[in-house]
Amino acid sequence: MTDLKNKAAKKSGFNRRDFFRGSGAIAAATALQTQTADAFQDQSPQIISGETTITLNVNGKDHQVKAEPRTTLLEVLRYQLDLTGAKPVSSDGSSGASTIFVDGKPMTASTILALQAAGKKIETVESLGGDAVQQAFVKYDAEQCGFCTPGFVMAVRSFLNKKPNASEAEIRSGLNGNICRCGTYANIVEAAISVAKGGN
């Protein structure tokens, strides 16, 4: 009888000892998974609902602002800090009109949540003062309605920071993320070339 049981177990490839070993492994894995889930739950970000006060560092100064989770950085800059250089042309950032610097990199304020910008260094076109790019835009009449101008100024400044001696072809390629509704591209490129030639 015992031989028959052993033979049956060998044929099926499964016996009670294997079952208990497997059950123990599953129990251990389940316990480990529960501990890991608990650990991640402790580390998960705090969920914020409603309006909250955050600190934004804009143009070298800390500002206390109020923001909901859905509030964009552009909305805070324009409507709470009165920095209206960045323009609300496109919510998806495709126009480039809301271009700003975040930790030195060009980004569109319309696509960043205000809460995401806390703890980062934000620079708007207002921070450039008498920058050579602004002066070149005036000199070469590189604007018409002016709505795209601040975004273009920031984009040109960012591009020339990386490639100060850029060629015309490089400038045209480097600025293809900004749109001018009035079509003053020729003057914008001319302004950027003049800054590149001047090495500023």
Same domain, 101 and 138: no
Classify 69 in phi/psi space as left (phi over 0), alpha (psi -120 to 50) or beta.
Answer: alpha
- Same domain assignment for residues 79 and 14: no
d(CA 20, CA 29): 14
How high is the mean pLDDT of the chain?
83
Query: What share of the chain has pLDDT > 90, as a percent?
Result: 60
State the CATH number of the domain containing residue 181: 1.10.150.120
pLDDT for 19 beyond 60: no
What is the rounded distance in angstroms from the CA atom of residue 105 to the CA atom of residue 155?
Answer: 10
- 26 shares its domain with 88: no
For residue 130, name the pLDDT band (cuts at 50, 70, 90): confident
What is the pTM assigned to this prediction? 0.73
* CATH at residue 120: 3.10.20.30
Grouping H, G, I as helix, E, B as strand and the rest as coil, residue 56 is strand
- Residue 100: pLDDT band with limits 50, 70, 90: very high
> Which residues lie across from 162 on neighbouring strands?
none
Which has the minimum average pLDDT: 32-46, 71-85, 102-116, 155-169?
A: 32-46
Shared domain for 114 and 134, answered yes or no, is no
Give yes or no: residues 193 and 146 share one domain: yes
Query: Residue 22 has which token pair?
Result: 């497997």
- Mean pLDDT over 156-171 rounds to 94
Domain assignment of residue 88, given as a range: 52-126
Q: Is residue 119 located within the same domain as residue 100?
A: yes
Per-residue pLDDT, 17: 60
Q: Does residue 122 sit in the same domain as residue 69?
A: yes
Band the pLDDT of 16: cuts 50, 70, 90. Answer: low
